[in-house]
Homo-oligomer: A and B are copies of this chain.
Amino acid sequence: MTSSDTGRPRGGTSGKRRAILDGALAVFARDGYSRASIDAISAEAGVSTRTVYNHFTDKAGLFQAVIQESASRAAAAQIEIIERHLRKVTDLEADLMEFGLAWAMPMAADHDAHFALVRQINADAGHIPQEAIDAWQETGPLRVRRALAAHLSRLTERGLLRTDDPERAALHLFLLISSVNPSYHRVTPSEKEIADMVTAGIRAFLYGYAAR
Contact = CB atoms under 8 A, between A and B. Distances in A.
Interface in A92-136: 92, 116, 119-120, 122-127, 130, 133
Nearest to A171: B179
Most chain B CB inside 10 Å of its own CB: which residue of A35, A152, A204, A212: A204
A93 to B, nearest CB: 8
A159 interface: yes
Contact of A175 (B124, B161, B176, B207): B176
Number of copies: 2
Contacts of A92: 210
Interface centre among A173, A182, A184, A201, by most chain B C-beta atoms within 10 angstroms, is: A184
Interface in A121-174: 122-127, 130, 133, 137, 152, 159-163, 165, 168-169, 171-173
A130 B187 CA distance: 12
A13 to B, nearest CB: 34
Interface residues of A, number: 49
A206 interface: yes
A209 B205 contact: yes
Given A32-B32, A122-B122, A209 B163 contact: yes
Contacts of A160: 210-211
Nearest to A175: B175
11 contacts: A31-B126, A125-B184, A160-B211, A162-B212, A163-B209, A165-B200, A168-B200, A172-B201, A172-B204, A175-B179, A206-B208
Given A123-B123, A175-B179, A208-B208, 18 more contacts: A30-B126, A116-B123, A122-B122, A122-B182, A125-B183, A133-B184, A162-B210, A168-B179, A168-B197, A171-B179, A172-B176, A173-B209, A175-B175, A175-B176, A205-B209, A206-B209, A206-B210, A207-B207
